[in-house]
Amino acid sequence: MSIKVADTAIIYPNVILGENVVVEDYCIIGLPFKGMGQEETIVGKDSVIRAGTYIYAGNRIGENFQTGNKVNIRELNEVGNNVSIGTLSVIEHHVVICNGARLHSQVFIPEYSVLEGDCWVGPNVVLTNALYPKHKSVKNDLKGVRIKQNAKIGANSTLLPGISIGKDCLIGAGSVVTKNTEDGVIAAGSPAKLFRKIDY
């Protein structure tokens, strides 16, 4: 088994790295979090963790995973195979990212979001989950976004809490999505409106 870990990287206990994993300079993998037990952190084989990336404990990450530089991945997420997360992106805790998802640079994914297989999230996309920011019960009312199979989210778009983006949808760049979209449509604008069905 060949694992390449830079001398400047920090790997905490309970981290399991698969075959042919590369961990570049100044990465930290398995960072403890508040209330942590004995959670394992798993990074599947053939993965590349690029310089400056922090991955907290309790993440279960599949094979052929790769990050850009300085990605921050909080605790207790489930990440499938063949997933890519771009430079300076932030993934909060309790997120599910399924096989083949691609997230470009500077994407923000908050708690309880679900990104289904082969979805594509453009640069500077922001998902939100706080229905009532700064309310005393805000943490009890968080609702993550769901991006369904093979949906594409254009650059600089914002998706509001609890929104579901339908299978195969295309959301135009710069959109603000305030309502669910059905499968197989193009929507764009602020607020985003249905443009037309996708021609397959």
**Per residue in 120-140, pLDDT tens?**
999 999 999 998 888 787 777
Position 1 scores a pLDDT of: 63
What percent of the chain lies above the pLDDT cut of 70?
Answer: 99
When comparing pLDDT for 198 and 177, which is higher? 177
* 137-163 confidence digits (pLDDT tens): 777 789 999 999 999 999 999 999 999
Q: Which domains does the chain have, with CATH numbers?
A: 1-94 (2.160.10.10), 116-135+144-200 (2.160.10.10)
Average pLDDT over residues 77-99: 98
12-44 exposure pattern, b = at least 16 Cβ within 10 A, e = fewer: eebbebbebbbbbeebbbbbeeeeeeebebbbb
